[in-house]
């Protein structure tokens, strides 16, 4: 199959941006990021540890990444003046979330290396295009997506095969963390759900009997070099990641190997540059280990990879920095088993919705706990406020501490730890 068009073609093989360097005019080596959320914040920290200056473009004056960056351009993502300023202040640019306008990335790529490029971000922004890509490269990746139907018109709605129900109706764009998704059991419920979503372009996915969910993080450089981490096993509650298991034996070895190979193949077929997360379903098909089905991809570091900050010698954010700057990509080594617990706004709210302070002294008194808060002042239900990673010498001790921490914080999904 053909690869996605390369929107970075004017600067497809950039000169590496070396840490701590300066140009003839005295401008320090600076890396830019579109988006100021927690992923941008952790990217900024990784870049600064290597000696880079950083600049964040985000409209929020109190954005987590903007608060810790050397420079913060407070404009909308499509603002021409803001984009021009970003391009002038840095030598390479990345994005921290997939809903940055692809047109903005395309404009930036005319003057600066942008990783990932607009074309592949555009694919990830649209579930219809994303599933078409997964289907097209299934022969290479060895894994395809589950049964689905595209619904963009009333005629397509009427033509949905009955065997796709029950299913999950998802908007083609802007849906994440369970948003823009409706479970439907019958044709009548499907029609009502599509109308309730405004009749926008959607994908109906057949509801599959899942035995597990997992994700794979890979990083690909401008030269095509690919490295990555072992697959993570993930547990979601209400469509939001709750727990990540990252240790040897979290998945059957043959299944983990297939997922890793498929993620690498998908990145290569895209001509991808940067960190890519590919999420998979493990479907209970009656076999010993289940069947692997690709679900979606994220053109950036991912929530399920936050454990790499504490359990690996090179984190997903270190690889994001290295890939965009044109530096070598070392093979990461995980030195400790880990379990990551997502911390949503509910941790800060009592049963009446009033703010409370979590019992951090008790949590941080547990061995191997690593707390990461994202600098968000207001806690809201469902809002990602931070994460807690537990590492230890073995899986049993890590699981024991993780269960205790989850109980102290009142986290959901405790029975899955």
Q: CA–CA separation, 94 vs 97, rounded Å?
A: 9
Is 99 assigned a ligand-binding role in the annotation?
no
Residues 6+ apart with CB under 8 A from 25: none
142: left (phi over 0), alpha (psi -120 to 50) or beta: left
Is 108 assigned a ligand-binding role in the annotation?
no
Structure-block tokens of residue 89: 């202040």
Peptide bond into 275 cis (omega under 30): no
Is 133 assigned a ligand-binding role in the annotation?
no
Q: CA–CA separation, 321 vs 382, rounded Å?
A: 29
Burial class (CB in 10 A: 0-12, 13-18, 19+), 393: exposed
Is 178 assigned a ligand-binding role in the annotation?
yes
Please say whether the beta carbons of 152 and 201 come within 8 A: yes
178: left (phi over 0), alpha (psi -120 to 50) or beta: left
Residue 80 backbone phi and psi in degrees, to 5: -60, -40
Give the H or E element holding residue 37.
none
Is 236 assigned a ligand-binding role in the annotation?
yes
Is 205 assigned a ligand-binding role in the annotation?
yes
Is 175 assigned a ligand-binding role in the annotation?
yes
Beta bridge partners of 183: 168
142-158: string of b/e by CB count within 10 Å (b at 16+)? ebbbbebbbbeeeeebe
Is 279 assigned a ligand-binding role in the annotation?
no
SS3 of 154, please?
helix
CA 397 to chain centre: 28
In the sheet with 202-206, reading across from the earlier edge strand, the strands are 148-151, 202-206, 167-171, 181-184
CA 137 to chain centre: 21
Please say whether the beta carbons of 389 and 82 come within 8 A: no
Is 206 assigned a ligand-binding role in the annotation?
yes
Is 177 assigned a ligand-binding role in the annotation?
yes
Q: CA–CA separation, 79 vs 81, rounded Å?
A: 6
Is 50 assigned a ligand-binding role in the annotation?
no
Is 208 assigned a ligand-binding role in the annotation?
yes
Is 45 assigned a ligand-binding role in the annotation?
no
Is 130 assigned a ligand-binding role in the annotation?
no
Q: What angle do CA 324, 329, 333 make, to 5 degrees?
A: 130
Q: What is the DSSP letter of 22?
A: B
Is 207 assigned a ligand-binding role in the annotation?
yes
Binding-site residue positions for ATP: 127, 170, 175-181, 205-208, 213, 236, 295-296
Binding region:
127, 170, 175-181, 205-208, 213, 236, 295-296
């Amino acid at each position: 199959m053909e690869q996605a068009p390369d929107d970075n073609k004017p600067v497809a093989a950039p000169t590496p941006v070396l840490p701590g360097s300066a140009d003839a005019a005295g401008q320090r080596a600076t890396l830019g990021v579109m988006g100021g959320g927690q992923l941008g914040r952790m990217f900024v920290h990784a870049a600064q540890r290597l000696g880079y200056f950083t600049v964040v473009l985000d409209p929020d004056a109190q954005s987590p990444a903007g608060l810790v960056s050397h420079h913060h351009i407070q404009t909308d993502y499509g603002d021409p003046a803001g984009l021009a300023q970003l391009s002038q202040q840095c030598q390479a640019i990345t994005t921290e979330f997939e809903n940055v306008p692809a047109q903005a990335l395309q404009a930036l790529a005319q003057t600066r290396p942008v990783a990932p490029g607009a074309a592949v971000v555009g694919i990830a922004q649209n579930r219809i295009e994303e599933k078409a890509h997964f289907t097209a490269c299934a022969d290479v990746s060895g894994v395809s997506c589950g049964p689905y139907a595209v619904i963009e018109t009333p005629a397509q709605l009427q033509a949905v095969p009955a065997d796709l129900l029950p299913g999950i109706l998802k908007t083609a764009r802007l849906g994440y963390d369970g948003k823009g998704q409706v479970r439907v059991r019958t044709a009548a419920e499907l029609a009502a759900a599509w109308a309730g979503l405004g009749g926008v372009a959607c994908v109906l996915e057949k509801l599959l009997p899942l035995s597990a969910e997992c994700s794979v993080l890979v990083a690909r450089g401008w030269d095509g070099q690919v490295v990555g981490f072992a697959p993570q096993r993930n547990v979601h509650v209400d469509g939001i990641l709750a727990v990540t298991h990252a240790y040897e034996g979290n998945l059957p070895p043959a299944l983990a190997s297939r997922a890793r190979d498929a993620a690498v193949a998908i990145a290569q077929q895209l001509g991808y540059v940067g960190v890519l997360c590919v999420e998979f379903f493990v479907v209970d098909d009656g076999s010993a280990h289940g069947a692997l089905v690709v679900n979606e991809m994220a053109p950036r570091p991912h929530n399920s990879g936050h454990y790499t900050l504490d359990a690996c010698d090179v984190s997903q954010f270190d690889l994001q920095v290295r890939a965009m700057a044109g530096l070598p990509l070392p093979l990461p080594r995980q030195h400790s088993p880990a379990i990551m617990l997502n911390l949503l706004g509910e941790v800060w709210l009592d049963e009446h919705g009033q703010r409370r302070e979590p019992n951090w002294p008790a949590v941080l008194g547990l061995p191997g706990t690593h707390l990461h808060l994202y600098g968000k002042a207001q806690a809201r239900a469902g809002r990602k406020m931070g994460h807690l990673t537990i590492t230890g010498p073995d899986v049993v001790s890590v699981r024991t501490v993780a269960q205790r921490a989850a109980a102290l914080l009142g986290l959901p999904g405790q029975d899955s730890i």
